[in-house]
Structure formats: structure tokens, C-alpha cells
Amino acid sequence: MGNNRKKMFEEFPPVSVEQWEEAIRTDLKGADYEKKLVWKTDEGFSVKPYYTADDLKNLSHLHYHAGEFPYVRGTKPTHNPWEIIQDIRVDDEVTANREALEAVDRGATGLCFILENKSLEKLNLATLLYDIYIQCIDLQFEFYSSPDGLWKQLFDEFNRRGVDVSNATGDIGYSPLGRLTQYGKWYRNAAEDFAIAHQLLKQVMTTLPRYRVLLADGRPIREAGSTTVQEMAFTLAMGSEYLQRLSDAGMDVETVAPRIQFNLSIGSNYFFEIAKIRAFRMLWAKIVEAYGVKNTEAAKAHIHATTAWYNMTLYDPYVNMLRQTTESMSAIIGGVDSLSVRPFNVVYQHPNSFSNRIARNVQIILKEEAHFDKVADPAGGSYYIEALTASLAQEAWKVFVQVQEQGGYTQSFVKGNIQQQIKSHAQKMLADVAARKCTVLGTNQYPNFNELMLTQIDKDVYWQKPADTSDIVAEPLQPIRISSDLEHLRLKTENSGKRPRVFMLTIGNLAMRLARSQFSCNFFAVAGFEVIDNNGFATVAEGIEAALKAHADIVVLCSSDEEYVTYAPEAFNLLYNRAIFVVAGNPPCMDELKAKGITNFISIRSNLLETLSYYQQLVGIN
């Protein structure tokens, strides 16, 4: 039997790269291959339209197995477990405890308590953790103030209950560099913060031996608009600075490295996010190796991921569930150790039982029904993902080295170098959304025409208060959401009490009028305008009469370029300034039409934000 085994598809002759290339160029019929099919990424490298085994020939990381240093294929050799984390915001301990118990009862295997408005001194930990089996779940904390005394309260709680701490896991969340990044200030000052980190590590090692202490939080970097490469490089630089400062203080790197947790944000670029996790682990292992560690287990990066905030939307919010599903898949396939899924409504409301349940169930389905935990590194061997892993690692390493040459993360951040790089890409992201080069479903493309969200908004959640900038030592990173400018535009329409009517005067060539009316309906609906589509009119006069009967504020002529030469002047003259006249498209006769007084045109070249703001002003929405 063994001698008769055959490889799949071996009856077909192999196809060389040259043959693929020749077939592609034939299909392109002379069009530029690079412009048509090669994707120039913001990360600094190009992505080809296809990959073959030839693309993997020079990749050194392919020689490793799952569970082997440098852990590019994951830290577990046989399967892919992860902790299902539920984030719980703590305003009062009783309510937070009730939410935590519900989460654990319904499938969460870990909890992250977010204490943004409560100091450690005022925290009643016993109430917060009441009835929770803290020895059985991964327990993580995020504080605004310093959590350096948390270990003592936790240890006392374990002792009070008389339970074993030897297998209890969690994260204290001490993050001086994360605080510098997000708020532009230290807990106290740089020297004291790292001295406390030194003491904290020694104390936790003896009391909570499996707890992680230091947090290298890359989420504020990504949520401020960074590229994937920048998020990787700057987060690695955080971790490297923890190692450097604490080893300089006399601590063993083999002790420090396993007690660092890395938090990363997972966006919607599906394959990039899978490759990012793999590449990040590999680079971190190489950094730890450079310190001469003998135990390679210490080089395993513990990675917690959170689904992205920057791409979540107010309008069509259920689409956020879909985003989070693909993001969760990326994180899990990449091999994260734990994952938090943001509730779909977190942009504009405090999460409720329903939205928390949906967020939690995304992970439970992937684990219990799709069995994503059963296979270690399922992406391993994919030509595309392996090539992406190498490209992301290479580009992130370049940026990491630049930060090190600037004196490390703190020096680079205090000087503003990191902020400038991130802001530059954030501006590009926002511009791409406004120009519809980047699609945000339900916001700048295919909006829900009749959706109203103004009454659904919790103002304290949606309109976030500006950060406290007193006593800052560096410019903090400002989080962005790429849909927010267009959301504010639509909210302005809702708040005005007006709903301008946009009438589609469809005439002539069937294919062109349908395509342009669909485009125009989507275009104006982005601003919350009421759109009235039509199947078509026999004459321009018939269309104008119908538009006036509909009390249209804006009339959009939808036809072919060739027919605009006659239809547009006729419609413009018949309308006679009784409504705003717009031509859909960018016709060759535009200059001729402008000479006849027609000034308004919309097309795929139009900047959505600027153009819709202009039409809001024309209809009296200021």
C-alpha cells in the first residue's frame, strides 16, 4: 500500500512561474502588469497577485515546527488553545461582578477588568471577584493609575479563600510605556516607574508565580492609525526597553521576558493580521535570544489581541459583528494566547448583555463549532501567508532598528518621532475613506438609506472627552475611527430636522443610467439625504415634472456620457433653479456643460466628505 501512495494532482504536469506569467500577460492584453495586479501596501512592500513554492525557497523560518523556537508557528506543538476574554468596565464593583459572573457562566475563560475611573486604593477587590473561581480563569487588569499594589490585594484574596496560586494565571497590567503612549505621562516619573517595575517583578514572582506583570500595549498605536508594521515595531520596542532597563537593574532576562504580556489590535486585513502574529512572535524570540538566554522557553511571546476599534462604525452597527468575526479568525489562526472581542455597539453605547453575549459567542463558535483550537498553525505552509510573514518581519525589523538607533522607545516617543510616523499614516487612512479608496461598509459605501442613529447614541460614549494633557512629557497618541468624519456629517443632517430629497432623473442608455443612479443614491445617502430612484423616463420633461412633484431639493441626471450633451442642458433649463441640478459622472463634455451654467458633477473622483459638506450647505444644513 505504501508504495502506491500518490500526491494529489500529480497526474497534471507542473506549471512553471514563467508559464503563469505568460498566461497573465496574455490576459492583460498589453496592460501594465505592475499597475493592474501588484498591490503597493502601506507597509512598505508589494504583494503579488499569486504565490508559488518558488517564493518560499529563501525563507529561513520554514525550517521550524509548531512549538519550536523562534515560535513563528506558534508556542504549542499540537493544538491551538486560547483564552476567551470578556472585557468588563468597572464603575462599581457590584455591577461589574454581576457582568463577570454572567460572562464566565456563558463561556468566557478569562476576564479583563478595565478600571479607567477607579484607583487601586478605592477598589474593593473582594466584591469585584465575589463567587468567581479566580484560580481557574485568566484574570487581566487595565488601570489608568498605577496597579503596582494589585499583586498584594490579589495574593491576600487567594489566601482568604484558601486556594492554590501555583497554577493561577493573569496579568497585573503594569504598563509605564503604555501610559506614556496613551496619555503622554508616566505614573510618577521614568526612574520611579521602572524602579517599581523591578520591585513588582520580584514580589509577583514569589507570590503569584504564573502571573504576568508588565504590559507592552500596542493597541493605542494601532488605534491612532498606524500601519501593521508600525504597530509591530513600536510594540517590540516597548518590550525591548523593558528587557534592557530591567537587565541593567540586575534582573535576569529569562525571568523578565515571560512576565511581559503583549497586547495587539487586530484589524480587518485578514491575511496580514494572521501573518502579523506569526512574524511578531519570531521577532520577539530573536530579540530575547540576543540577550544570550539559555532557556528558549523564555522567548515565547504571550500575545493578547483585541478586535480593532478604529474601523468600527456608528451606522449599520451590526456590520461590526462581521468585522469582528474575521478579525477573531485572523487572531486565532495566527495563534494568539487570548482574545477580547469588542461588543458591536461599544462605539456609541455602553455594552449591554446582548452585545456582550454576541461578542463572546463569536469566539465560542470558532472554538466549539469550527474547532479552530484543534490544529496548531493552520496557516503554516501557505505560500501567501509565509511570504507575508517574512515581508512583515523584514519591514518591522527595519522600523524597530530605527527606534533603537534613536535611543529606544522612550527617547523616540518623547522626541515625537513615533507620533509623527503614525499621524502621517492616519491622515492617509482618513483621506482614503473620504475619497472611497478604502471602503467602510455602511458608512462610505452601501449605507442603510433610512437608518437613524441620533437617538441611539449615549453622548458620554460617542462624544468622548478630550484627554487630560496636564503634566504631559510627550504628545499622547490620539485614537481615531476612520468613519467618524462621515458619521458626523450624517448626524448633522439628522440633527438639522431636515431630510433633503435627492431625485434620480434616469433617462437614455439603460446600463449607464442604472449604474449611475445606483452610484448617486449611495453617494447622497452617506449624508443621510432621502434618495428617490426611478426606473427611467421617456423624456427629460417628464423627469423634471416628476422631480418637482416629489418636491426634490436636488435632481441628479443619470445617463450616458454621449447623451449628456443634449440631456443635461435641456434638464438644466427646464428645472430653472427650482432645485439643485447635478450631473452624475465625469463626462468628456464637462467643459461644454459648464459653459452653459452647469456646475455640479459627482463621480468616483469626488471627495465624499468635501462634496457632501458642500451640498449640505447648499440645502441649508450648517
- Give 24-49 pLDDT, tens digit per residue: 989 999 899 989 999 999 999 999 99
Same domain, yes or no: 53 and 79: no
Domain-embedded: residue 429: no
Domain-embedded: residue 510: yes
Rounded to an integer, what distance in angstroms lies between the CA atom of residue 425 and that of residue 228?
11
Domain-embedded: residue 80: yes
Residue 2: predicted pLDDT: 52
Q: Which residues contact 555 (CB under 8 A, 6 or more apart)?
A: 502, 503, 505, 544, 547, 571, 575, 579, 580, 581, 582
The domain boundary, picked from 395, 417, 439, lies at 417
Same domain, yes or no: 77 and 23: no
- H-helix or E-strand spanning residue 38: none
Q: How confident is the model at residue 248 (pLDDT cuts 50, 70, 90)?
A: very high
Residue 14: predicted pLDDT: 84
Same domain, yes or no: 10 and 109: no
- Give 64-99 pLDDT, tens digit per residue: 999 999 999 999 999 999 999 999 999 999 999 999
Domain-embedded: residue 437: no
Domain-embedded: residue 347: yes
Query: Is pLDDT above 50 for 1?
Result: no
Same domain, yes or no: 17 and 99: no
> What global pTM score does this model have?
0.95
Residue 72: predicted pLDDT: 98
- Give 402-430 pLDDT, tens digit per residue: 999 999 999 999 999 999 999 999 999 99
Same domain, yes or no: 369 and 232: yes
Q: Taking residues 120-129, report their average pLDDT.
A: 94
Instruction: Please report the DSSP string for 112-152 in residue order.
Output: EEEESS--GGG--HHHHTTT--TTTSEEEEEESS--TTHHH
Query: Is pLDDT above 50 for 537?
Result: yes
The domain boundary, picked from 371, 387, 417, lies at 417
Q: Which residues contact 283 (CB under 8 A, 6 or more apart)?
A: 232, 236, 393, 396, 397, 400
Query: Is pLDDT above 60 for 587?
Result: yes
Domain-embedded: residue 198: yes
Residue 61: predicted pLDDT: 94
Residue 469: predicted pLDDT: 84
Query: Is pLDDT above 90 for 335?
Result: yes
Contact status, residue 254 vs residue 294, Cβ threshold 8 Å: yes
Same domain, yes or no: 48 and 97: no
Same domain, yes or no: 224 and 347: yes
Q: Taking residues 514-540, report their average pLDDT.
A: 98
Same domain, yes or no: 511 and 396: no
- Give 462-500 pLDDT, tens digit per residue: 998 887 888 899 999 999 999 999 999 999 999 999 999
- Average predicted confidence (pLDDT) for the chain: 96
Looking up residue 348, the CATH number of its domain turns out to be 3.20.20.240
Same domain, yes or no: 147 and 53: no
Residue 328: predicted pLDDT: 98
Residue 4: predicted pLDDT: 67
Domain extent for 326 = 69-417
Torsion (CA) 580, 585, 588, 594 in degrees, nearest 10: 10
Considering its fold, how many domains does the chain have in total? 3
Looking up residue 512, the CATH number of its domain turns out to be 3.40.50.280
Q: Taking residues 105-115, report their average pLDDT.
A: 97
Q: Taking residues 224-241, report their average pLDDT.
A: 98
Q: How confident is the model at residue 6 (pLDDT cuts 50, 70, 90)?
A: confident
Same domain, yes or no: 109 and 73: yes
Residue 30: predicted pLDDT: 87
Q: Taking residues 434-449, report their average pLDDT.
A: 96
Residue 117: predicted pLDDT: 81
Query: Is pLDDT above 50 for 597?
Result: yes
Same domain, yes or no: 8 and 80: no
Domain-embedded: residue 447: no
Residue 601: predicted pLDDT: 98
Same domain, yes or no: 75 and 218: yes
Residue 3: predicted pLDDT: 60
∠ CA 299-301-302, rounded to 5°:
135
Domain-embedded: residue 124: yes
Query: Is pLDDT above 80 for 8?
Result: no
Contact status, residue 362 vs residue 341, Cβ threshold 8 Å: yes
Query: Is pLDDT above 70 for 299?
Result: yes
The domain boundary, picked from 360, 391, 417, lies at 417
Which is more confidently placed, 109 or 118?
109
